[in-house]
Structure 1
Amino acid sequence: MAAYIPVPRDLTRVKSKILFNLTKRQLICFGAGALIGVPSFFLLKRIGSTSVAAMGMILIMLPAFLLAMYERDGQPLEVIAKHFIESKFIRPKVRPYQTDNYYEILSRISEAKKEVDRIVSVYEKRKSPAGRKAAGKHLKKGPEKGRGDRGGGKEK
């Protein structure tokens, strides 16, 4: 009789096993839990009975075990806990929908340009009002008569 081996459809979700059919993450978390839990068992055994020490060791090692084994939708426990804490405590409860209206942006830009022009003109008037009048005399106010390129109409 043939033995069937289940093969997952998505091979990217398969995690490589290192030792005792455990992943590197699981080995690190179990090792950290053992480093904390076993000495705590012997310390609690001196204070109380063996069953109390065993329950204390289980409670102390439980977070490391959960960090190693729990996973939802491909995300480990610390990522899920981070998202939960952000959504419940850090972010505001009511998040209104806000848009950036393009026309409001353009109007703010034009208002800013007007304000800059106003500030610059006030500064130039304060700096040298006589100098501006003298510099403005050589500028022509309009097209001269007799020039066909700027007259815009019939010559008389």
Structure 2
Amino acid sequence: MPKEVRKHKETIFFGLTARQFFCAVIAVGAAAGIYLGLGPVIGKETASWVCILAAAPVALAGFFHYNGMPLEQFLWAVVKSEFLFAGGRPFASENFYYNLLRRKGGQDFD
């Protein structure tokens, strides 16, 4: 099967996939809510910067892909590799043939 056929993603609105569209709608809604809620309190210019900082991660979640993984799978892989399974991984080899000969023959090869 050709690679371009496997990578096909169905678009629903404005050329966006469903994931991208819903993340964009949530980001716009969060930005509008923050601007309308914080605008009178901290000033419109500061509220607009807070909107950008709040909406950017949500919008990023819809468009981010790394090695075929969406953002949440990528973050889970990072957490697992850096925190949960972090640490040294010592290499210890075992010569199965040597151990088998030693057990069968009853003689010591050391």
TM-score by length of 1: 0.55
Write the distance in 2 (CA, Å) between the matches of 1:61 and 1:30: 9
How far apart are residue 98 of structure 1 and its match? 5.9
Aligned length: 98
Residue 82 of structure 2: aligned partner: 88
Instruction: Give the unaligned 5+ runs of structure 1.
Output: 1-7, 108-156
The alignment yields a C-alpha RMSD, in angstroms, of 2.4
Query: What's the CA shift string for 1:3-39, capped at 9, x where partnerless?
Result: xxxxx95211121110011100011111222232211
Residue 19 of structure 1: aligned partner: 13
Identity %, equivalent residues? 24
Within the alignment, does 1:43 sit opposite 2:43 as a pair? Answer: no
Give the letter aligned to residue 20 of structure 1.
F
Give the letter aligned to residue 84 of structure 1.
V
Write the distance in 1 (CA, Å) between the matches of 2:67 and 2:50: 31
Higher relative contact order (CA 8 A, sep 6+): 2
Question: Per the alignment, in what secondary structure is the counterpart of residue 12 of structure 2?
Answer: coil
Write the distance in 2 (CA, Å) between the matches of 1:56 and 1:101: 61
Write the distance in 2 (CA, Å) between the matches of 1:52 and 1:30: 22
Structure 1 residues 46 and 92: CA distance shift in structure 2, 3 A: same
Instruction: Give the unaligned 5+ runs of structure 2.
Output: 104-110
Residue 48 of structure 2: aligned partner: 54
